[in-house]
Amino acid sequence: MPLTPLEIQRVRDWLATAARVTVLTGAGISAESGVPTFRGKDGLWQGFRATELATPEAFAHDPKLVWRFYNWRRELLAPVKPNPAHEALVRLEGKVPQFTLLTQNIDDLHRKAGSRNIVELHGNIWLVRCIRCLRVARKEEVPLPELPTCPECGDLLRPHVVWFGEALDPADLERAVDASRSCEVMLVIGTSAVVQPAASLALVARERGARVVEVNLEATPYTHLLDVALHGKAGTLVPQLVEGW
């Protein structure tokens, strides 16, 4: 169904009068910048699926292979720029007294755009973590050594991301749930609503009385439970929601 100016204006009005706004973003917002989603034609790397390599078991079995995969991903991401949707969320953060950005993306594009209060639920590809001392550091060299090691203890470094089969950081999850429970408006942008526990955050917000708005290319399993669904490109729709108030 085509969008109407009335739907856009309703969401603008909600945002303009809200003191607390939470945004949840997924792969769809970054796909418009050219970031592969690892679904469909983007789903394979040298015959492997991302779900076969982004696991603790794969890293334990063949850390060189996993690091080759992540060095390739870092090379892809290094030149990628934020798009108008990322930039509009920076402006939204500047307008709202209490703003929290929850993202499932590891590409760092929100931070590059200028967002500040970010919870990176699945980590950040530009961070590394020592498997022994757990020290986390930012490393933007491309590529990293074949098997990068910790400067503190000498053990192996791994990408500081949440792999398949791993739990989210409890502190990040707590921040995300708190932001979802306390917001007046939540925007859910570019996420298919199938990866848990992030997918359920919109329902947490809805149950607490927040207005929840979906911005996605197509309907998701939660579309019918939310207040407004805007289907189209985030880079087109999100700026419309932020401008004009």
Three-class SS state of 31: helix
Decide if 86 contacts 109 (C-beta within 8 A). Answer: yes
Q: Per the structure block, which two tokens stand in for 80?
A: 């990628």
State yes or no: is 122 an active-site residue.
Answer: yes
Inter-helix orientation angle 234-242/84-95, to 10°: 20
Beta-sheet strands, E only, within 26-120: 44-45, 48-49, 98-103, 118-120
Catalytic residue among 61, 122, 160, 231: 122
Distance (Å, whole) CA 232 – CA 230: 6
Distance (Å, whole) CA 56 – CA 24: 26
Three-class SS state of 133: coil
Which residues form the catalytic set? 122
